[in-house]
Amino acid sequence: AARMFLRLLSDIQWRAAHPKWRRMTGSQRSTSSTAEPHPVSLPAQAQVVICGGGIMGTSVAYHLSKMGFKDIVLLEQGRLAAGTTRFCAGIVSTARPVSIELKMAHYSNKLYQQLEQETGVQTGYMKTGSISLAQTQDRLISLKRIASSLNVMGIPCEIISPKKVLQLHPLINIHDLVGAMYLPEDALVSSANVSLALATAASRNGVQIHERTSVSHVTIQKGRVTGVETDRGRIQCEYFVNCAGQWAYELGHSGEEPVHIPVHACEHFYLLTHPLQEPLSSSLPTIVDPDGRIYIRNWQGGILSGGFEKNPKPLFTEGRNQLEIQNLQEDWDHFGPLLSALLRRMPGLEALQIMQLVNCPESFTPDMRCIMGESPTARGYFVLAGMNSAGISYGGGAGKYLAEWIVNGYPSENVWPLDLKRFGTLQSSRTFLRHRVMEVMPLMYDLKVPRWDFQTGRQLRTSPLYDRLDAQGARWMEKHGFERVKYFVPPGSDLLDLDHSKTFYKPDWFDIVGSEVKCCKEAVCVIDMSSFTKFEISSTGDQALESLQYLFSNDLDVPVGHVVHTGMLNEKGGYENDCSIARLSKRSFFMISPTDQQVHCWAWLKNRLPDDSNLVLEDVTWKYTALNLIGPRAVDVLSELSYAPMTAEHFPSLFCKEMSVGYANGIRVMSITHTGEPGFVLYIPIEYALHVYNEVMNMGQKYGIRNAGYYALRSLRIEKFFAFWGQDLDAFTTPMECGREFQVKLDKGIEFLGQEVLLEQKQNGVYKRFTMFILEDHDTDMDLWPWWGEPIFRNGRYVGKTTSSAYSYTLERHVCLGFVHHFDEKTGEELVVTTDFINQGEYEIDIAGQRFQAKAKLYPFSSLFTQRRRKDEVELSGYQRE
């Protein structure tokens, strides 16, 4: 039945088109599964070996060969497009909330549209459009947010009424709908044939394709890929690309040095029916009914309908492998709720006859985003996998970005949200993955409101103070496996209410966070910030300083005890990381960077530091608990605890000193905060953490000390116009573009990475500018709150998007941060953004289709600094935080 099905989904043209590339590899195509001899032996070496002949592998091969790489070998353990790709529902949709995913889908759609003409292989491409239905107002808001970002990208998209839905698709029951989103350009394809078309084109461009060849493992020497071992011999190669889909995890673990690729398979079901009495038109739009957890597309006069059920069935947790996917068992009882949803949406289909219930494994990742990029431990080892059931939508774009990555060293877009290095070994536990994907799969269609969190795989990394904080009402969120406090619920608050804080409007923790912010401004607060990534770099001689001077843009040759905020830039001057570095001694440095930099920053430094045994890089994240004392009275608390004067004369800003706090000696105290308020961060060896915390809280009592969480921190840093790496800053943003020229020492006398670009920008100006917006006519109580990703309009024209936002309790206004571009009105060409351009404009921010007036500012409000301790305090505004 499975084989029969393959023929149904793919087009008849397949065999006609096939020989074109098949002839090049010299073997005969036959639909029977009898083992064929391999007439062409494997090459002994190649530049790139791609493992996996599904949509990902063929797309990477296609794009690599287009970009001029010639020496490429694609290996497929079974037959091309015979894995998850074969069973793909074939829906190409740009209705994606994450901007980079949206771009990939948009590119894929354009690519597939012309693929048939390019290759002669019928892809079944049909521009049907798609309609996403909303059964609730909240769902409609989430659709409107997507529509806003699609519109500014020039992708046609419309919010339509239920009546209009009925005009577009006569079978739909619209009684329970409040609205819908219509994307006329979304398409349907036969994904197996798209994959074959890409293979055909790649083959014409010189890519060697070998089926029935499985990779046993990849050999890595000195942190570099050297080759692959297959069941047909070894191939030496420079680059290896793991596109093994649901087998990617195992393949990553097959070698001596494991490459952790956190994907886990779940069973995924869809239904195929016979044609209707009056067969459905092949141009009928695809229906997505996320509240009903289903999608429905037309298929050969009947329908194809599947979905993401509440109770997914993970499989292969124990790592069972198989050559090609057998058709898994149909499980009608499991599919029941989806069938109910289908018949509720299209009651007219009751009499439609069932053809088959397809069950095929689909790979999911811990955060619902796909995985691409280079392994942090093995250079040349690339990965493209974990498509979370959107493989065909992402296939073209993902393949393109990965090919660019291999060829140019970096893709043309910021792909950090998809980068393999956002994960570490901790996400590769099978138990973690199994539990997490059971949450992720239903989440595909769940409503996602601002600040939603994963609930599974929690309490993995915690501070030693976790229980203490939890007992005091802490509410938690997670970053890179680390539990962090959002805010503290005061005793006596209605807990049930707080759990229902999921809304697009004003959340119910509003006043709680407000009081924490107030305490930071007027007294003193403690925030546990232990999750930050902490490295130590030391050397016997000047190696550490020399290397860091090259890798960082600020001047690190400062007196011992000074702290420097600096970007870790790439060749294009973009932020790979944003950190604070304290000079502990002449030859050793302590580096603090965002939590999710643990893998990326490590790999970046490892790959660029000289191979010198006298230069030591150590990850000391786990060794220290970090307590941030924020507020004007922090100085009093600390001086009482240490019997040391802490005033600005004795302990200036951006200073670092080891001292005693209570009984504990050797506490590393830095006069920095992560908000711009006065204060200190204490780096405490973990065994002293509880003691120091207790001492601080006891001593702080008379100064009105209280606990605070990250929401307060966030509000403080955004109203101070502090950019945060990973949210506001990325590898495509330079210090010049975000007002941080003062953190760059172009004249430090040592050449550093990205210097040329920065020099050039200094002379000629920048093409985007980080700007702060204060919403003017926005009603905090009644209006939708901004989140991030909202389009910014200047004089009615789109100029960029926000990157973060928060309510400022000081300004009593919402503040959005974002980038302003200057597109030429006629050509759309990007022009230099000047201060005048920013200042001479009328701005609006679009929140889910509704525009709010905003005031643009390039510098923070100086009046907010009520307790300025030193004139150069403004320096702080450059500091990163999360």
Partner 1 sequence: FYLTPSQVNSILKANEYSFKVPEFDGKNVSSVLGFDSNQLPANAPIEDRRSAATCLQTRGMLLGVFDGHAGCACAQAVSERLFYYIAVSLLPHETLLEIENAVENGRALLPILQWHKHPNDYFSKEASKLYFNSLRTYWQELIDLNSGETTDVREALINAFKRLDNDISLEAQVGDANSFLNYLVLRVAFSGSTACVAHVDGVDLHVANTGDSRAMLGVQEEDGSWSAVNLSYDHNAQNEHEVERVKMEHPKSEEKSLVKQDRLLGLLMPFRAFGDVKFKWSIELQKRVVESGPDQLNDNEYTKFIPPNYYTPPYLTAEPEVIHHKLRPQDKFLVLATDGLWETMHRQDVARIVGEYLTGVHHQQPIAVGGYKVTLGQMHGLLTERRARISSVFEDQNAATHLIRHAVGNNEFGTVDHERLSKMLSLPEELARMYRDDITIIVVQFNSHVIGAY
HSE value, Cβ hemisphere, 13 Å, CA-based, for 2: 16
d(CA 89, CA 390): 9
Kindly tell me which of 329 and 701 has the beta carbon lying closer to partner 1: 329
Please, which of residues 753-772 interact with partner 1 by CB under 8 A?
none
Kindly tell me which of 354 and 832 has the beta carbon lying closer to partner 1: 354
> Is residue 53 a contact partner of residue 69, using CB atoms and an 8 Å limit?
no
d(CA 736, CA 757): 10
**What is the dihedral sign for C-alpha 364, 369, 374, 377?**
negative
Q: x/- binding map, residues 647-686, to partner 1, per CB under 8 A?
A: ----------------------------------------
Collapse the DSSP code of 176 into the 3-class scheme (helix H, G, I; strand E, B; otherwise coil) and give the result: coil
Q: Which residue stretch of 11-19, 55-63, 347-355, 665-673 sits at the interface with partner 1 (rule: CB under 8 A)?
A: 347-355
* Single-letter amino acid, residue 720: K
Q: Which residue stretch of 349-357, 378-386, 599-607, 778-786 sits at the interface with partner 1 (rule: CB under 8 A)?
A: 349-357
DSSP at 249: H
CB of 304 to partner 1, least distance (A): 13
* Contact call for residue 354 and partner 1 (CB under 8 A): yes
CB of 734 to partner 1, least distance (A): 57
* Contact call for residue 353 and partner 1 (CB under 8 A): yes
* Single-letter amino acid, residue 510: F
Kindly tell me which of 19 and 170 has the beta carbon lying closer to partner 1: 170
* Single-letter amino acid, residue 781: D
CB of 339 to partner 1, least distance (A): 5
Q: Which residue stretch of 223-231, 337-345, 482-490, 796-804 sits at the interface with partner 1 (rule: CB under 8 A)?
A: 337-345
CB of 354 to partner 1, least distance (A): 5
Distance of CA 773 to the CA centre of its chain: 24
User: Which tokens go with 876?
Assistant: 């702080």
Dihedrals phi, psi of 788, to nearest 5 degrees: -160, 165
d(CA 286, CA 147): 17
CB of 191 to partner 1, least distance (A): 24
HEC letters along 816-858: EEEEEECECCCCCCECCECHHHHHCCCEEEEECCEEEEEEEEC
* Single-letter amino acid, residue 563: V
> Site for partner 1 (CB under 8 A): which residue of 160, 349, 558, 811?
349
CB of 171 to partner 1, least distance (A): 12
CB of 495 to partner 1, least distance (A): 28
Kindly tell me which of 357 and 440 has the beta carbon lying closer to partner 1: 357
CB of 336 to partner 1, least distance (A): 4
Q: Which residue stretch of 351-359, 485-493, 650-658, 757-765 sits at the interface with partner 1 (rule: CB under 8 A)?
A: 351-359
Number of residues this chain uses to bind partner 1 (CB under 8 A): 22
d(CA 533, CA 621): 5
Kindly tell me which of 349 and 644 has the beta carbon lying closer to partner 1: 349
Kindly tell me which of 357 and 661 has the beta carbon lying closer to partner 1: 357
- Ordered DSSP codes for 89-135: --EE----SSHHHHHHHHHHHHHHHHHHHHH------EE--EEEEES
CB of 2 to partner 1, least distance (A): 14
CB of 358 to partner 1, least distance (A): 11
d(CA 380, CA 236): 12
d(CA 433, CA 249): 11
Kindly tell me which of 169 and 475 has the beta carbon lying closer to partner 1: 169
Kindly tell me which of 8 and 864 has the beta carbon lying closer to partner 1: 8
> Site for partner 1 (CB under 8 A): which residue of 47, 205, 254, 356?
356
CB of 303 to partner 1, least distance (A): 9
User: Which tokens go with 723?
Assistant: 């950019």
Kindly tell me which of 196 and 352 has the beta carbon lying closer to partner 1: 352
- How many Cβ atoms are within 10 Å of 284's Cβ, its own excluded? 19
Closest to 120 in 3D by CA, of 188, 50, 197, 21: 197
User: Which tokens go with 659?
Assistant: 């001292």
Scan for tokens 């006329």, then name that residue.
Answer: 184
> Site for partner 1 (CB under 8 A): which residue of 339, 385, 638, 669?
339
DSSP at 787: -
Kindly tell me which of 354 and 495 has the beta carbon lying closer to partner 1: 354
Kindly tell me which of 332 and 663 has the beta carbon lying closer to partner 1: 332
Q: x/- binding map, residues 248-277, to partner 1, per CB under 8 A?
A: -----------------------x-x----
* Contact call for residue 279 and partner 1 (CB under 8 A): no
d(CA 739, CA 723): 10
CB of 276 to partner 1, least distance (A): 11
> Site for partner 1 (CB under 8 A): which residue of 6, 160, 328, 343?
343
- Ordered DSSP codes for 552-607: BSS-----TTBEEEEEEE-TTS-EEEEEEEEEEETTEEEEEE-GGGHHHHHHHHHH
Q: x/- binding map, residues 307-336, to partner 1, per CB under 8 A?
A: ----------------------xxxxx-xx
Kindly tell me which of 357 and 641 has the beta carbon lying closer to partner 1: 357
CB of 337 to partner 1, least distance (A): 9
> Site for partner 1 (CB under 8 A): which residue of 351, 471, 496, 782?
351
- How many Cβ atoms are within 10 Å of 278's Cβ, its own excluded? 7
Kindly tell me which of 22 and 297 has the beta carbon lying closer to partner 1: 297
Kindly tell me which of 357 and 591 has the beta carbon lying closer to partner 1: 357
Q: Which residue stretch of 4-12, 257-265, 345-353, 561-569 sits at the interface with partner 1 (rule: CB under 8 A)?
A: 345-353
CB of 350 to partner 1, least distance (A): 3
CB of 347 to partner 1, least distance (A): 9
Please, which of residues 575-634 interact with partner 1 by CB under 8 A?
none
Kindly tell me which of 353 and 827 has the beta carbon lying closer to partner 1: 353
> Is residue 821 a contact partner of residue 830, using CB atoms and an 8 Å limit?
yes
Edge-to-edge strand ranges of the sheet holding 91-92 = 91-92, 187-188, 126-127
Q: Which residue stretch of 276-284, 319-327, 353-361, 672-680 sits at the interface with partner 1 (rule: CB under 8 A)?
A: 353-361
Q: Which residue stretch of 110-118, 340-348, 800-808, 850-858 sits at the interface with partner 1 (rule: CB under 8 A)?
A: 340-348
Integer angstrom CA distances of residue 212 from 32, 80, 207, 209, 532 = 14, 9, 16, 10, 46
Q: Which residue stretch of 98-106, 190-198, 346-354, 849-857 sits at the interface with partner 1 (rule: CB under 8 A)?
A: 346-354
* Contact call for residue 352 and partner 1 (CB under 8 A): yes
Kindly tell me which of 330 and 470 has the beta carbon lying closer to partner 1: 330
Kindly tell me which of 293 and 668 has the beta carbon lying closer to partner 1: 293
Integer angstrom CA distances of residue 599 from 168, 424, 427, 727 = 48, 6, 12, 17
* Contact call for residue 4 and partner 1 (CB under 8 A): no
Kindly tell me which of 272 and 738 has the beta carbon lying closer to partner 1: 272
CB of 277 to partner 1, least distance (A): 12
- 636-645 contact pairs (CB < 8 A, 24+): 636/524, 636/703, 637/524, 637/696, 637/699, 637/700, 637/703, 637/705, 638/669, 638/680, 640/699, 641/695, 641/696, 641/699
> Is residue 59 a contact partner of residue 72, using CB atoms and an 8 Å limit?
no
Q: Which residues bind partner 1 (CB under 8 A)?
A: 271, 273, 329-333, 335-336, 339-340, 342-343, 349-357
